[in-house]
Amino acid sequence: MSRQIRDVMHRGAIAVEPMTSVARAARLMREQGVGDVLVTYDRDLFGVLTDRDIVVRAIAEDRDPNTTTAGSVCTRPPVVTLTPDDTTDHAAELMRRYAVRRLPVVESGGCPVGIVSLGDLAATEDPQSVLADISKADPSG
């Protein structure tokens, strides 16, 4: 049974500005136990920075994480997004189509209000699944 995204999303996703260093963004991810941060500028979504972006686009290219900015290595628009009124079925379809594990949730004006992950969908749609169990585990190990 499909539910609205507003019922399953993580509200108040962590956000950084484009000029934030990759090192600072990585520390925020660690402190918050998340694998991504939204990159915002003037309350609008600029991009999404994932732990994979940091590894592949910064560290693997020998870029200094203290001087490399989140805005220079994040996934930039067009970033696939959802609204709070979208459904979990629509979210799953977008994740499948674009091969992403997380989707920012934005209000009609483009202002980010949260994020929904593949694990959120698994926990909602099939709480007994292995993916739901993994998603509930403490990310710090």
- Answer whether 25's CB lies under 8 Å from 46's CB: no
Q: Which two tokens stand for residue 23?
A: 């090192």
Please tell me the distance from the alpha carbon of residue 25 to that of residue 34, in angstroms, as a whole number. Answer: 11
Residue 67 lies in a domain: yes
Residue 118 lies in a domain: yes
CA torsion through residues 75, 77, 79, 85, sign: positive
Q: What is the mean pLDDT of the chain?
A: 88
Give the amino acid at 112. P
Total domains in the chain come to 1
Model pLDDT for residues 109-133, shown as the tens digit of each residue? 778 999 999 888 888 776 565 555 5
pLDDT at 22: 98
CATH number at residue 51: 3.10.580.10
pTM: 0.82
**17 lies in which domain range?**
5-136
Model pLDDT for residues 67-125, shown as the tens digit of each residue? 999 999 998 877 899 999 999 999 999 999 999 889 999 987 778 999 999 888 888 77
Residue 94 lies in a domain: yes
Question: Which runs of E-coded beta strand occur in the chain?
Answer: 10-11, 15-16, 36-41, 44-50, 102-106, 112-117
Residue 62 lies in a domain: yes
- Answer whether 135's CB lies under 8 Å from 117's CB: yes
Please tell me the distance from the alpha carbon of residue 82 to that of residue 80, in angstroms, as a whole number. Answer: 7
- Answer whether 82's CB lies under 8 Å from 46's CB: no
Q: How far is CA 92 from CA 23, 54, 120, 136, in A?
A: 31, 25, 10, 19
Residue 56 lies in a domain: yes
Model pLDDT for residues 11-24, shown as the tens digit of each residue? 878 999 999 999 99
Residue 141 lies in a domain: no
Residue 140 has pLDDT above 60, yes or no: no
Give the amino acid at 50. T
Residue 74 lies in a domain: yes
pLDDT at 12: 76
Please tell me the distance from the alpha carbon of residue 78 to that of residue 76, in angstroms, as a whole number. Answer: 6
Residue 48 lies in a domain: yes
